[in-house]
Amino acid sequence: MFLVVGIVAGLAIYSGFGVIASIPDLPEAVSYLPADCKAVFGMNVKKFIASPIYAKFEEKHGQEMGKDLAEFIAKTGVDPRKHVDYIIAGARSVESGKGSGVIVAVGQFNTAAIKSFLGTKATPISVKVDETEVMMVPEADGSKLEKGLAFLKESEIALGDLDSLKALINARKNPALLGIKNNQVLAPILDKLNPKEMFWFAGDATIMLSKAPANTPLGANLSAIQNVVGTLDLTDAVAGKITVTARDKESARKLADVARGFIALGQLASDQNAELSMLLNGISIQHSEETNSITLVLNFPIDVLDRLEQAKANAKKVV
């Protein structure tokens, strides 16, 4: 989440941080995420910026990002908080240590001004990929060109490694053949997503969970999960759903039992902790035998998170 918040806070200060609509209702850019993506993520930026959670984030981090953001706005005329509508991301590899993927910002941009601004912060190298300009930004020491920006059009800018940007550009040219709709796991999930959600994500669980530690609460049951999809809204409450689909009815039943047991244990431990109790009371498990799925439903006041954080800080002071 905070990676994306960083992009919203300073879209094209990339080197400075070092860091056909074939899908119904979702932004067009979703349709040309590469078909080999293992996980996808979306963020309704307008909804997030208008939320109380962003106000808290800006209050806490606004000073540290203010100078760079002010310079970016002054030189480009683009304020990411106002001119970015949607953020979309696709992860193609989740190998430990080095992943690959793309992030697409959808909004209203001044491409020429952003390119000029980048030139004042680094010495980008321009690469043409099927008539689309990609500006590769070198690392601080100038030794690598791992990340870059592709200027798809005035309303779309993509960030990522060169191979992933090439895959995105090719899929954009021919989404019916190379886009995410050809992903048998993710395409059916994306068809059901609501673009009005503040955050949403979907992933191929066989890849996403392959690196998960063996000693997680779900243990050996992790291998039974086929896909994961979730939505999250942050207003005065944390509200969302995370649904996992298992390979068969028995696997789904076992997953549901483990999840319920885990929450029950947490509730027992929360007798002396009002904040933890309130959080766990806002979590429920729904099990569907028809779809072999388990849904974790979240709905609790957002200030519970602040209170838990404060309680943790107080505990550290006592120790």
Q: What single-letter amino acid sits at 196?
A: K
Domain boundaries, given as residue ranges, for the chain:
1-180, 212-319
H or E element: which one contains 289?
none
pLDDT of residue 125: 86
From the number of C-beta atoms within 10 Å of its C-beta (0-12, 13-18, 19+), residue 86 rates as: buried
pLDDT digits (tens, 9 = 90+) for 176-230: 899 999 999 899 888 888 888 899 999 887 665 655 555 555 555 667 888 889 9
Q: Is the pLDDT of residue 77 over 60?
A: yes
Reported as type and span, the H/E element at residue 90 is strand 84-93
In 262-301, which positions are buried (b, 16+ CB within 10 angstroms) versus exposed (e)?
Answer: ebeebeeebeeeebbbbbbebbebebeeeebbbbbebebe
- For residue 208, the surrounding DSSP H or E stretch is helix 205-208
What's the number of CA atoms in the CB half-sphere (13 Å) around residue 182?
A: 12
Q: pLDDT of 97-143, one tens digit each?
A: 566 899 999 999 988 998 888 888 778 888 899 889 999 887 765 56
Q: Confirm whether pTM is higher than 0.85.
A: no
- The per-residue DSSP string of 19-50 comes to ----STTS-GGGGGSBTT-SEEEEEEHHHHHT
On whether the CB atoms of residues 36 and 171 are closer than 8 A, the answer is no
Helix, strand and coil content of the chain, in percent to the nearest 5, comes to 45, 30, 25
In this prediction, residues 54-79 reach a mean pLDDT of 79
